[in-house]
Structure 1
Amino acid sequence: MLRLRYLFLTLVTLGFAGGIVASLVHNQRSAEMNTARIQLSAWSLAQLEFEYLRFYDTLRLYRAGAANAERLRMTFDLLWNRLDVFLTGEENRAIRQRFGGEDTAKALLAQLQADETLIFATDLKPGAGLDAVIARYAGFQTPIRDLMIHNFTGPDAAHIADEINRHHYLTQVFLLGLLFCGGALALMLFYEARRNHHMARNDVLTQLPNRFHFKTLQKSLSHRHCCALAVIELSNFRAVNENISHDAGDLLLTRIGEILNSLKPEGSFIARVDGDEFVMTFPDGFSEELVKSTLNGLAIALSFDFQNDKHLFQVGTRIGLCFNPDRAFDLQKLYQFATLAVREQRLSKRNGLALFTEEINNRYLRSQSLLSDLKRALAPGSKTGSDLLLHYQPIVACHGGQTGVEVLLRWLHPQLGYISPLEVVELAENNQMGPQLGRWVLQRLKRDLLNIPPSVRNALFYSVNIASSQFTRELPEQLRAWLADTPIRADQLQVEMTESISVANFVDGSLILRRLNQLGIQVALDDFGTGYSSLSYLKELNIQRVKIDKSFIQGIGRNAQQQQVVRSIIDLCHTFHFKVVCEGIEDERDAQQVSSLGSDFAQGYWYGKPMPMQALLVWLTVAQEAATPSYPRHAPVEVQPVPPVE
């Protein structure tokens, strides 16, 4: 199609140029014809004067008896014929219309017509009787002579010639200018077409080929076979776009493009196929060791600190690689496999190089199967919805106060058994099902709450995890509507979110949290210490509780340095008037230690594993009978086995 457009443009340009050249030739020929016509007109006017003078002289000779009547009548006829030609000839029009030429010729012809009878009379005799006739024709001598002078000599004749030459010159200049402009326009169109073609196939920011170019390459037989293909994905690029600006993201992409262009091996191909995704192909001749070393070098070069407008982000790179040892796969299939490898890196939150294997493909097929089952389980009226369960893990008060529970999702798959909650949430989030899963959790929680005694229900607070897709401006209104139809108060509901969710869009996040607080809903920051851990963010957020991640808590009873770190975090949170929850407590020593450090709440297997609602009711009964209420011990309650995931 592009070649056809270029061919059409070339034909149009050639046609335009041909038309201009033809116009120039025609103009030259017209000028030559005008010149010839003027020359013919001059000859015609000269002949008219000549015939007039010959008739006039013959008339005078006839009066004197020096000429006969036959000669007189012949010169009369010749003059008449010359006047007819002069008055009717197209080539004489210009001369007739200047200097009264037509009037003079008509007057002379009229005089000839008047004297025709006399001249051709049989009794015409020489003598003084012709003096009056001679006098009448003598009056035309001066006008005819002046007509010759004005047309072909003197300043008037020169002006006419100059005017003709000027028009001829201007016409040529105009046509040449038109030819130049047309050529310039054609050249501009050609370069613009090339520029548009380049822009259509290349990314403006990175100066690399784009997705369209890569798709074109996939269809090209000359590039169909290659030894390896890699998918390069940037980490934290979206965070730069969302937390700084899109201009900062453009600067980052420009820098990435410079690095990739400078490090691209000869013969390889790199394209930007998505916002933060690039594709790199290696032609035949690259060994596996060379491909891996090249990509590892790129991974190092593309991992750096990016600072803009006082914001610092660490940019990392995930690379998925697929080899094509038997040249059995085309680029499309290699791209699909490499994408699965980089997806594995993304889900495991790792950077660096990952090689596609059959195990990765099996995990992907498993996730797709789980996705289909999850969609059926979340569908309204689904019979498989019972596979999804809610379990509840106690959150105990270390120094007296209200006990709560964290609401945790469990999926008992009929073929695969228990599915990790993290896998379920990631599956939903990566496939635009996060809000739907969140609504299911709230509806199932409401159903469970309706099935327990009001005295137990009203004594607890309920902590519900919120995923990133749920954390929108609609969240406060959704929870308000849910509370209006649920038998608990707003101050019994607590939402948990990670640091990354709360600061991903800080302005909107602060507004959402403030509206939740206005409804009476408390907010807990989950897994504190594993994300941004920025106190400048923390003090600005409208939160009431901070949950310290279990990586800081497990084994704290035997680690003095760990105790100092946790004590500092607890003291700092209390300075901001935050309640503190320590997660991951699995033995009595850790439980006693976090309590002595000032933690307000504790959570972990030492107190109770996640359990169904009926088992929770038994746990609450046993916990109330514990001998030391300040340290509620693990209650020996038999519950349905669950995987050790909080």
Structure 2
Amino acid sequence: MELETLEFRNDLALYLVEDSSPRRSLLLTYDILWSRYDTFLSSQETAAMRRAFNAQPIVERAFRLIQRHEQAVLNGDRERLQNLLNEIDIVLPQIRNLMVNNFTGPASIEQRAFLDEKIKVMYAAMFILTLVLIFFAFRLYRNSSKQQELAWQDRLTGLPNRNYLLDCLYKAVQQNRIHTLLLIDIRRFKDINDLMGYEQGDKALTKLASQLNSICLPYGYPCARVSSNEFAVLAYSDGRHLSFFTQPLCDSLRRAIDSIYPGHRLSLAIGIAKSLDVDTHSGNSHWQFANELLNNADLALMRAKQAPVTKDSIDTFKTEYEQEAQQRRRLRDELKAHLIDPYQDALYVAFQPIVSADPNRLGCEALVRWHHPEYGPINPELIVNVAEESGLGQRLGTWILQQVHLALNTEWQSINTHIDIAVNLSDSFFNESLIADVITIFAKHPEQRKQLIFEVTETMTIDDIGRFSLLMNQLRDVGIRIALDDFGTGWSSMAVLNHLSFDKVKVDRSFVTGMADITRQQVLVDTICHMAHQLGIHVVAEGVETREQLTSLQQMGVDEFQGYFFAKPLSAIDFYAFCIDYLNQKNVLLSKQSIKNLFNINNF
């Protein structure tokens, strides 16, 4: 501050002496000095210095001096600038004394001590900051190592995980190394968790993983756990002579499974895909190649899991598997489009008659059908499977109910009070929103809800009987009846009847077929019929195709009949014609000849 005051004083004196001296230098030093004084008087950092040696009044006097002559400096008024020079010469020694007092004598010693103390504090702060940085660096390193471990390793079993497997596949492709991928699924493993608890299930997985690792280690084959009960092995072989490895693998895992859960038959399913089957000329990247191989192995595993669950199964990928998968993906996309297109006619509902012992009533089962322009008629079971896999099960069920409502109030309007309609429910459609869907669809004709019969399977009930019972009661509250479909084919049919109350049971067609020739089947159907009637449940027989079957079933007291003997599934308008003929003939079941005349299956 003292030097800048002196520099301004010299520039001012020079300007007053030389007439031609430019004012630019004077203005610059004036602005700098103004800023210096202002900073000294207002800054927090200079507060201590302002209090020392009575500095503040001295600097304020000097600052007011240059402020008072601002216009003179800007206009170059030499007379007033001369006065400014005289007054600065008075103030300058006082400012110089401030500098001298600040840097010499006791004040200087105090300042140096103050600076030394500040330096010590600064070093201490730097030391603490360094320790904090080291601590956070250690934490970061430890977390990074843990994240790295989690990224490549399964925490439960200690095996590598899916990411590690994909990396191995990528490297094998990159190195042009022939390899074969095996995906191994422990079927019905959920039973261990359900019956023995998740802790026992985790122990079983750990033991299986250890056994798998011990098998693969001598061959140098990497293995991994890719999902809950699914493992993978990457064999560096072309797959044509892999039995030297797969057979010991199956035997070893089989022994491990039997030792884990000897009282229950778990089984192995293995899907195999070879790198030689993947097209290397398609221009795919190494990652795409690796993912395609994994997809092929998964398709082969799905095929292996279609085998009976009671035995081990192995399947190797074939080209047609991918074609079928592409077909399913295409059907999924087209099904989604059909369900929202009111003008499409490829997807439709057919109605198969269900003949009742009551001549004034007639039933039918609503069956989804799809005539594809390229694939032809699509298997109804495939339609439902595709819908369930793609999350369209509930939407498909709602669409079927809408078609039933439409038929009742258009083609069948004149006779709809005589008709009961059975609708098969898929797993995803039987949920809490089903009742709201039914109420919404039949809002204008709530009385027609009493004509609906929802058919459920045994497997839908066993997961949560309490929830299922609650939903059944809610459906009955709005007038809907419930039928147990495919009765007798499951292991717990009697337990289901014991815990749940049904309005009807449908005897599976497998019991009706050959009933006239096999006494055992007759006894079973007769027993089912007698037991159901004792419980107040109506009995419906599926798969009635011959007069002998119909006669036997009538003698057993079966209440309703369904099958090709009466008619194949019909369109809504054809079913209407069927109903008119049936309702015009009373006691049709009492006349064998009239049955043959009325229900000529060749006409449908």
Shorter-normalised TM range: 0.5 to 0.7
Q: CA deviation at 1:261?
A: 3.7
CA separation in 2, counterparts of 1:581 and 1:298?
Answer: 48
CA separation in 2, counterparts of 1:436 and 1:305?
Answer: 44
| Partner residue, 2:223 | 270
Q: Flag the 1:415–1:195 CA change in 2: closer, same or farther, 3 A.
A: closer
CA separation in 1, counterparts of 2:178 and 2:185?
Answer: 21
Q: CA deviation at 1:470?
A: 0.8
The 8 Å contact of residues 564 and 601 in structure 2, kept in 1 or not, is answered as: no
Q: Which of 618-627 and 574-583 deviates more? A: 618-627
Q: CA deviation at 1:294?
A: 4.7
Within the alignment, does 1:205 sit opposite 2:166 as a pair? no
| Partner residue, 1:446 | 405
Query: 1:320 aligned to 248, 262, 271, which one?
Result: 271
Q: Flag the 1:251–1:637 CA change in 2: closer, same or farther, 3 A.
A: farther
Q: Flag the 1:304–1:626 CA change in 2: closer, same or farther, 3 A.
A: farther
Within the alignment, does 1:495 sit opposite 2:447 as a pair? no
| Partner residue, 2:171 | 220
Q: CA deviation at 1:517?
A: 1.7
CA separation in 2, counterparts of 1:229 and 1:200?
Answer: 21
Q: Flag the 1:541–1:184 CA change in 2: closer, same or farther, 3 A.
A: same
Structure 2: which amino acid aligns with 1:207? G
The 8 Å contact of residues 397 and 425 in structure 2, kept in 1 or not, is answered as: yes
Q: Flag the 1:628–1:639 CA change in 2: closer, same or farther, 3 A.
A: closer
The 8 Å contact of residues 510 and 541 in structure 1, kept in 2 or not, is answered as: yes
User: Per-residue CA shift, 1:484-523, capped at 9, x if unaligned?
Assistant: 2347522211101111112233332222112112222111
User: Per-residue CA shift, 1:516-560, capped at 9, x if unaligned?
Assistant: 122221111111223343422332124221112111110101110
1:362-441 equivalence runs, <5 A: 362-381=323-342, 383=343, 385-398=344-357, 402-441=361-400
Q: Which of 255-264 and 406-415 deviates more? A: 255-264
Structure 2: which amino acid aligns with 1:565? L
Structure 2: which amino acid aligns with 1:278? F
The 8 Å contact of residues 398 and 600 in structure 1, kept in 2 or not, is answered as: yes
TM-score normalised per structure 2: 0.67
CA separation in 2, counterparts of 1:218 and 1:298?
Answer: 25
Q: CA deviation at 1:410?
A: 0.8
Within the alignment, does 1:338 sit opposite 2:297 as a pair? yes
Q: Secondary structure at the match of 1:335?
A: helix
Structure 2: which amino acid aligns with 1:281? L
Q: Flag the 1:590–1:514 CA change in 2: closer, same or farther, 3 A.
A: same
| Partner residue, 2:14 | none
User: Per-residue CA shift, 1:74-98, capped at 9, x if unaligned?
Assistant: xxxxxxxxxxxxxxxxxxxxxxxxx
The 8 Å contact of residues 268 and 283 in structure 1, kept in 2 or not, is answered as: yes
Q: CA deviation at 1:397?
A: 2.1
Gaps of 5+ in 2: 1-126, 281-288
Within the alignment, does 1:279 sit opposite 2:232 as a pair? yes
1:48-67 equivalence runs, <5 A: none
1:550-565 equivalence runs, <5 A: 550-565=509-524
CA separation in 2, counterparts of 1:341 and 1:528?
Answer: 32
The 8 Å contact of residues 225 and 327 in structure 1, kept in 2 or not, is answered as: no
Within the alignment, does 1:603 sit opposite 2:562 as a pair? yes
The 8 Å contact of residues 539 and 576 in structure 1, kept in 2 or not, is answered as: no
CA separation in 2, counterparts of 1:327 and 1:451?
Answer: 54
CA separation in 1, counterparts of 2:237 and 2:379?
Answer: 42
Structure 1: which amino acid aligns with 2:291? Q
| Partner residue, 1:629 | 589
User: Per-residue CA shift, 1:293-346, capped at 9, x if unaligned?
Assistant: 3565477558769879xxx86533332211234786643221111112223345
Query: 2:183 aligned to 227, 231, 240, which one?
Result: 231
CA separation in 2, counterparts of 1:577 and 1:627?
Answer: 24
1:453-472 equivalence runs, <5 A: 453-472=412-431
The 8 Å contact of residues 427 and 460 in structure 2, kept in 1 or not, is answered as: yes
1:527-538 equivalence runs, <5 A: 527-538=486-497
User: Per-residue CA shift, 1:124-167, capped at 9, x if unaligned?
Assistant: xxxxxxxxxxxxxxxxxxxxxxxxxxxxxxxxxxxxxxxxxxxx
Structure 1: which amino acid aligns with 2:518? N
Percent of aligned pairs with the same amino acid:
26
Q: CA deviation at 1:611?
A: 0.6
The 8 Å contact of residues 549 and 583 in structure 1, kept in 2 or not, is answered as: yes
CA separation in 1, counterparts of 2:189 and 2:453?
Answer: 31
Q: Secondary structure at the match of 2:589?
A: coil
Q: CA deviation at 1:425?
A: 0.9
1:73-222 equivalence runs, <5 A: 194=145, 196-221=147-172
Gaps of 5+ in 1: 1-174, 642-646
Structure 2: which amino acid aligns with 1:356? F
| Partner residue, 1:293 | 247
CA separation in 1, counterparts of 2:140 and 2:602?
Answer: 77
User: Per-residue CA shift, 1:181-236, capped at 9, x if unaligned?
Assistant: x9999999977765554343222333322222223333335777343112223433
CA separation in 2, counterparts of 1:628 and 1:523?
Answer: 27
- Rg larger in 1 or in 2? 1
Q: CA deviation at 1:584?
A: 1.0
Q: Flag the 1:190–1:306 CA change in 2: closer, same or farther, 3 A.
A: same
Q: Flag the 1:406–1:223 CA change in 2: closer, same or farther, 3 A.
A: farther
